[in-house]
Amino acid sequence: MNSSFGRIITLLRKERGYSQKKVAADLSISQALLSHYEKGIRECGLDFVVKVADYYDVSCDYLLGRTPHRSGATISVEDIPEPDAAGKENIMHGTGSLLPVLNKKLIANSLNVLYGCLQKFNCRALTTEISAYLNLAVYRAFRMLYSANAKNPQGLFSVPLRQGDGYATAAQEIALSNAESLLAGEKVENLEPVAKGQAPALSPEKINEEYPLFASSLFNLIQSSENRMGAKKGQN
Protein backbone atom coordinates (compact mmCIF):
# COMPACT_ATOMS: atom_id res chain seq x y z
CA MET A 1 0.00 0.00 0.00
CA ASN A 2 1.22 3.53 -0.76
CA SER A 3 2.92 5.12 2.26
CA SER A 4 0.74 8.23 1.83
CA PHE A 5 -2.45 6.34 2.66
CA GLY A 6 -2.08 6.34 6.46
CA ARG A 7 -1.06 9.99 6.58
CA ILE A 8 -3.94 11.10 4.35
CA ILE A 9 -6.70 9.18 6.14
CA THR A 10 -5.41 10.57 9.45
CA LEU A 11 -5.54 14.14 8.11
CA LEU A 12 -9.02 13.63 6.65
CA ARG A 13 -10.29 12.33 9.98
CA LYS A 14 -8.76 15.20 11.94
CA GLU A 15 -10.04 17.79 9.46
CA ARG A 16 -13.57 16.65 10.21
CA GLY A 17 -12.97 16.46 13.92
CA TYR A 18 -13.80 12.75 14.06
CA SER A 19 -12.41 10.40 16.68
CA GLN A 20 -10.82 7.10 15.71
CA LYS A 21 -13.63 5.37 17.58
CA LYS A 22 -16.33 7.04 15.45
CA VAL A 23 -14.58 6.42 12.11
CA ALA A 24 -13.79 2.81 12.99
CA ALA A 25 -17.44 2.21 13.90
CA ASP A 26 -18.67 3.90 10.70
CA LEU A 27 -16.30 1.76 8.61
CA SER A 28 -17.15 -1.43 10.53
CA ILE A 29 -13.62 -2.15 11.75
CA SER A 30 -11.98 -2.05 15.17
CA GLN A 31 -10.37 1.10 16.47
CA ALA A 32 -7.10 -0.79 16.86
CA LEU A 33 -7.13 -1.79 13.19
CA LEU A 34 -7.86 1.76 12.09
CA SER A 35 -4.96 2.97 14.24
CA HIS A 36 -2.67 0.47 12.52
CA TYR A 37 -3.82 1.66 9.09
CA GLU A 38 -3.21 5.30 10.02
CA LYS A 39 0.27 4.55 11.38
CA GLY A 40 1.16 2.38 8.38
CA ILE A 41 1.70 -0.66 10.59
CA ARG A 42 -0.73 -2.75 8.55
CA GLU A 43 -1.90 -2.59 4.96
CA CYS A 44 -5.54 -2.70 3.97
CA GLY A 45 -7.18 -4.19 0.90
CA LEU A 46 -8.45 -2.25 -2.10
CA ASP A 47 -12.04 -2.77 -0.97
CA PHE A 48 -11.27 -0.80 2.16
CA VAL A 49 -9.61 1.98 0.14
CA VAL A 50 -12.80 2.34 -1.90
CA LYS A 51 -14.87 2.34 1.30
CA VAL A 52 -12.74 5.12 2.82
CA ALA A 53 -12.90 7.12 -0.43
CA ASP A 54 -16.71 6.96 -0.32
CA TYR A 55 -16.75 7.82 3.38
CA TYR A 56 -14.67 10.99 2.97
CA ASP A 57 -15.98 11.78 -0.53
CA VAL A 58 -12.53 11.78 -2.13
CA SER A 59 -10.94 9.73 -4.90
CA CYS A 60 -8.89 6.58 -4.39
CA ASP A 61 -6.02 8.24 -6.27
CA TYR A 62 -6.03 11.04 -3.69
CA LEU A 63 -5.95 8.55 -0.81
CA LEU A 64 -2.98 6.81 -2.41
CA GLY A 65 -1.09 10.05 -2.97
CA ARG A 66 -1.32 9.80 -6.76
CA THR A 67 -2.91 13.25 -7.16
CA PRO A 68 -3.18 16.36 -4.95
CA HIS A 69 -6.78 16.84 -6.11
CA ARG A 70 -9.35 15.25 -3.86
CA SER A 71 -11.62 14.61 -6.80
CA GLY A 72 -8.83 12.67 -8.52
CA ALA A 73 -8.76 15.14 -11.39
CA THR A 74 -5.66 15.33 -13.56
CA ILE A 75 -4.56 18.37 -15.54
CA SER A 76 -3.23 18.74 -19.09
CA VAL A 77 -1.46 21.62 -20.79
CA GLU A 78 -4.76 22.66 -22.35
CA ASP A 79 -6.39 22.83 -18.92
CA ILE A 80 -3.84 25.24 -17.47
CA PRO A 81 -5.11 28.83 -17.67
CA GLU A 82 -2.94 31.68 -18.87
CA PRO A 83 -1.29 33.60 -15.99
CA ASP A 84 -3.63 36.60 -16.42
CA ALA A 85 -6.80 34.56 -16.92
CA ALA A 86 -7.70 34.47 -13.24
CA GLY A 87 -9.72 37.68 -13.44
CA LYS A 88 -10.68 38.90 -10.01
CA GLU A 89 -8.30 36.46 -8.34
CA ASN A 90 -5.45 38.52 -9.74
CA ILE A 91 -6.70 41.85 -8.42
CA MET A 92 -4.98 43.00 -5.23
CA HIS A 93 -6.64 45.65 -3.09
CA GLY A 94 -5.64 47.77 -0.14
CA THR A 95 -2.52 49.60 0.96
CA GLY A 96 0.61 48.53 -0.88
CA SER A 97 -1.31 46.62 -3.56
CA LEU A 98 0.84 48.10 -6.34
CA LEU A 99 4.05 46.44 -5.13
CA PRO A 100 2.88 42.79 -5.36
CA VAL A 101 1.32 43.46 -8.77
CA LEU A 102 4.58 45.02 -9.99
CA ASN A 103 6.70 42.14 -8.68
CA LYS A 104 4.35 39.57 -10.15
CA LYS A 105 4.63 41.19 -13.58
CA LEU A 106 8.40 41.44 -13.34
CA ILE A 107 8.65 37.73 -12.54
CA ALA A 108 6.11 36.61 -15.15
CA ASN A 109 7.70 38.73 -17.89
CA SER A 110 11.20 37.59 -16.95
CA LEU A 111 10.07 33.97 -17.18
CA ASN A 112 9.04 34.62 -20.79
CA VAL A 113 12.62 35.59 -21.55
CA LEU A 114 14.05 32.69 -19.55
CA TYR A 115 11.95 30.08 -21.35
CA GLY A 116 12.65 31.75 -24.67
CA CYS A 117 16.36 31.24 -23.97
CA LEU A 118 15.77 27.64 -22.92
CA GLN A 119 14.12 26.93 -26.27
CA LYS A 120 17.31 27.99 -28.03
CA PHE A 121 19.31 25.38 -26.09
CA ASN A 122 17.00 22.71 -27.51
CA CYS A 123 17.63 20.46 -24.51
CA ARG A 124 14.62 18.88 -22.83
CA ALA A 125 16.63 17.78 -19.79
CA LEU A 126 17.88 21.32 -19.20
CA THR A 127 14.34 22.72 -19.38
CA THR A 128 13.18 20.04 -16.94
CA GLU A 129 15.88 20.81 -14.37
CA ILE A 130 15.47 24.59 -14.57
CA SER A 131 11.69 24.16 -14.29
CA ALA A 132 12.13 21.91 -11.24
CA TYR A 133 14.29 24.55 -9.59
CA LEU A 134 11.67 27.25 -10.17
CA ASN A 135 8.76 25.00 -9.15
CA LEU A 136 10.50 24.25 -5.87
CA ALA A 137 11.02 27.96 -5.19
CA VAL A 138 7.28 28.52 -5.56
CA TYR A 139 6.58 25.43 -3.43
CA ARG A 140 8.77 26.69 -0.60
CA ALA A 141 7.25 30.18 -0.60
CA PHE A 142 3.67 28.94 -0.84
CA ARG A 143 4.07 26.31 1.86
CA MET A 144 5.58 28.87 4.21
CA LEU A 145 2.55 31.14 3.71
CA TYR A 146 0.07 28.26 3.89
CA SER A 147 1.57 26.90 7.10
CA ALA A 148 1.68 30.26 8.89
CA ASN A 149 -1.75 29.34 10.28
CA ALA A 150 -1.21 26.16 12.29
CA LYS A 151 -4.89 25.24 11.83
CA ASN A 152 -4.58 24.89 8.05
CA PRO A 153 -4.75 21.17 7.11
CA GLN A 154 -1.50 19.77 5.77
CA GLY A 155 -3.17 17.12 3.61
CA LEU A 156 -2.21 19.09 0.51
CA PHE A 157 1.42 18.10 1.08
CA SER A 158 3.08 14.67 1.15
CA VAL A 159 6.30 15.74 2.88
CA PRO A 160 5.92 16.44 6.63
CA LEU A 161 5.93 20.14 7.52
CA ARG A 162 9.23 20.21 9.40
CA GLN A 163 11.01 18.39 6.59
CA GLY A 164 9.38 20.28 3.72
CA ASP A 165 11.70 23.26 3.39
CA GLY A 166 14.89 21.28 3.94
CA TYR A 167 13.91 18.63 1.40
CA ALA A 168 12.83 21.29 -1.11
CA THR A 169 16.10 23.17 -0.66
CA ALA A 170 18.08 19.98 -1.27
CA ALA A 171 16.00 19.15 -4.35
CA GLN A 172 16.59 22.69 -5.67
CA GLU A 173 20.33 22.33 -5.29
CA ILE A 174 20.26 18.98 -7.10
CA ALA A 175 18.23 20.47 -9.96
CA LEU A 176 20.63 23.42 -10.22
CA SER A 177 23.69 21.15 -10.15
CA ASN A 178 22.15 18.95 -12.84
CA ALA A 179 21.47 22.02 -15.00
CA GLU A 180 25.06 23.23 -14.61
CA SER A 181 26.40 19.81 -15.58
CA LEU A 182 24.13 19.62 -18.63
CA LEU A 183 25.27 23.07 -19.73
CA ALA A 184 28.88 21.91 -19.42
CA GLY A 185 28.12 19.03 -21.80
CA GLU A 186 28.16 16.39 -19.08
CA LYS A 187 25.58 13.61 -19.08
CA VAL A 188 23.72 13.30 -15.77
CA GLU A 189 22.42 9.77 -15.24
CA ASN A 190 19.95 9.33 -18.12
CA LEU A 191 19.76 13.05 -18.96
CA GLU A 192 21.29 14.11 -22.25
CA PRO A 193 23.46 17.25 -22.03
CA VAL A 194 23.33 20.38 -24.14
CA ALA A 195 24.93 19.80 -27.53
CA LYS A 196 28.27 21.46 -28.16
CA GLY A 197 27.86 24.91 -29.68
CA GLN A 198 24.14 25.02 -28.81
CA ALA A 199 24.38 27.80 -26.20
CA PRO A 200 22.93 30.98 -27.76
CA ALA A 201 24.81 34.26 -28.01
CA LEU A 202 23.18 36.75 -25.63
CA SER A 203 23.67 40.41 -24.77
CA PRO A 204 21.42 43.15 -23.36
CA GLU A 205 21.00 44.51 -26.87
CA LYS A 206 20.05 41.12 -28.30
CA ILE A 207 17.59 40.45 -25.46
CA ASN A 208 16.02 43.86 -26.07
CA GLU A 209 15.69 43.06 -29.75
CA GLU A 210 14.22 39.57 -29.33
CA TYR A 211 11.99 40.28 -26.32
CA PRO A 212 10.97 43.96 -26.63
CA LEU A 213 7.93 43.50 -24.37
CA PHE A 214 9.72 41.67 -21.58
CA ALA A 215 13.39 42.75 -21.60
CA SER A 216 12.93 45.75 -19.30
CA SER A 217 11.21 43.54 -16.71
CA LEU A 218 14.14 41.13 -16.74
CA PHE A 219 16.67 43.94 -16.40
CA ASN A 220 14.71 45.41 -13.47
CA LEU A 221 14.52 41.97 -11.83
CA ILE A 222 18.29 41.55 -12.19
CA GLN A 223 18.93 44.98 -10.69
CA SER A 224 16.56 44.52 -7.73
CA SER A 225 17.97 41.03 -7.08
CA GLU A 226 21.56 42.29 -7.02
CA ASN A 227 20.54 45.20 -4.80
CA ARG A 228 19.12 42.60 -2.42
CA MET A 229 22.49 40.83 -2.53
CA GLY A 230 24.18 44.07 -1.50
CA ALA A 231 25.89 44.60 -4.85
CA LYS A 232 26.65 48.13 -5.99
CA LYS A 233 26.51 49.31 -9.58
CA GLY A 234 29.92 49.13 -11.26
CA GLN A 235 31.21 46.70 -8.65
CA ASN A 236 32.35 44.15 -11.27
**Amino acid 4: pLDDT:** 81
The DSSP code for 191 is B
Cα(105)–Cα(33) distance, rounded to whole angstroms? 52
What is the mean pLDDT for each group of 10 consecutive residues in the chain (236 residues)?
A: 80 90 95 93 91 91 79 58 54 59 88 95 95 96 95 85 94 97 93 92 94 92 91 62
- Topology of domain 4-63, CATH: 434 Repressor (Amino-terminal Domain) (1.10.260)
Tell me the per-residue pLDDT of 30-54, one tens digit each, with 9 for 90 and over.
Answer: 999 999 999 989 999 889 999 999 9
**Amino acid 89: pLDDT:** 47
**138: phi > 0 → left, psi -120 to 50 → alpha, else beta; which?**
alpha
- For 10-37, b/e burial (b = at least 16 CB within 10 A) is bbbbeeeeeeeeebbeebebeeeebebb
**Amino acid 61: pLDDT:** 85
What are the residue ranges of CATH 1.10.260.40 in the chain?
4-63
**Amino acid 35: pLDDT:** 94
